[in-house]
């Protein structure tokens, strides 16, 4: 069972900060753009943690099954977006570092964030009609920013895979401050934040693809002046 979104994201951010401070692996260019390399890295990471008793065996088995299912679906269709590959690469990096981290709490939190994202991807893919449909197309995401319950404009929005919320440069950049232009994002869990006049807001966890459909709207708290 997972913690609430706010506490889960707080834990993930702490783990990610420790990942950076400990010099852990980050996604390489090849795994961020090459589906075969990304899946290979992901499966190697799962194999790493499968021999570590810190990680619950049942959850590791479920993660392994989900990764295998997504790989089969990708091979059946041959279609996968660059953004999807980048998020798989982020999950793989988090899992690799989870296996290497000497801190059990950090290891478990990184594992949980990657497992959560892969699980969401698998559930979304399972909702499609057959393996030949692949892992699913990117979803057009439109973001609205609000302050005190009212819609406001002039804020830029960024997003990363939940497993690596501090990845720089961000994986997904909403270029228009009016938030009217959608950005394609694969299903999964993300850390969103707003930027205004160079000031960065707090992370907000959001799931993309929790409802099947080609478009999704997200509302973010514009928590910077």
pLDDT single digits (tens) 171-207 = 999 987 766 689 999 999 999 999 998 899 999 999 9
What does the block give as tokens for 85?
């590959």
pLDDT tens for each residue of 34-90: 999 999 999 999 999 999 999 999 999 999 999 999 999 999 999 999 999 999 999
pLDDT in tens, 151-163: 988 899 999 999 9
Q: How many helices (H) and strands (E) does the chain have?
A: 6, 9
Burial class (CB in 10 A: 0-12, 13-18, 19+), 151: exposed
The pLDDT assigned to 128 comes to: 87
pLDDT of the residue at 1: 37
pLDDT given for residue 5 in this prediction: 46
Q: Which domains does the chain have, with CATH numbers?
A: 5-133 (no CATH), 139-221 (2.60.40.10)
pLDDT in tens, 12-42: 555 555 554 444 446 666 667 899 999 999 9
State residue 185's pLDDT score. 97
β-sheet bridge partners, residue 144? 219
Report angle CA 219, 221, 223 to the nearest 5 degrees.
160
């Amino acid at each position: 069972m997972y913690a609430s979104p706010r506490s889960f994201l707080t834990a993930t951010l702490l783990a990610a900060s420790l990942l950076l401070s400990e010099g852990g692996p980050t996604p390489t260019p090849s795994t961020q753009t090459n589906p075969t390399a990304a899946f290979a890295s992901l499966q190697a990471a799962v194999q790493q943690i499968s021999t570590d008793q810190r990680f619950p065996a049942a959850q590791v088995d479920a993660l392994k099954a989900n990764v295998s299912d997504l790989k089969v679906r990708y091979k059946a269709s041959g279609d996968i977006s660059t953004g999807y590959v980048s998020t798989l690469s982020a999950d793989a990096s988090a899992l690799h570092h989870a296996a290497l981290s000497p801190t059990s709490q950090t290891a478990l939190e990184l594992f949980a964030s990657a497992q959560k994202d892969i699980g969401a991807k698998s559930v979304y893919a399972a909702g499609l009609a057959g393996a030949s449909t692949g892992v699913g197309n990117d979803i057009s995401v439109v973001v609205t920013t609000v302050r005190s319950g009212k819609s406001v404009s002039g804020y830029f929005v960024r997003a990363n895979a939940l497993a690596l919320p501090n990845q720089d440069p961000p994986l997904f950049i909403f270029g228009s401050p009016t938030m009217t232009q959608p950005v394609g994002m694969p299903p999964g869990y993300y850390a969103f934040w707003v930027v205004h006049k160079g000031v960065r807001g707090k992370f907000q966890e959001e799931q993309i693809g929790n409802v099947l459909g080609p478009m999704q709207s997200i509302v973010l708290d514009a928590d910077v002046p």
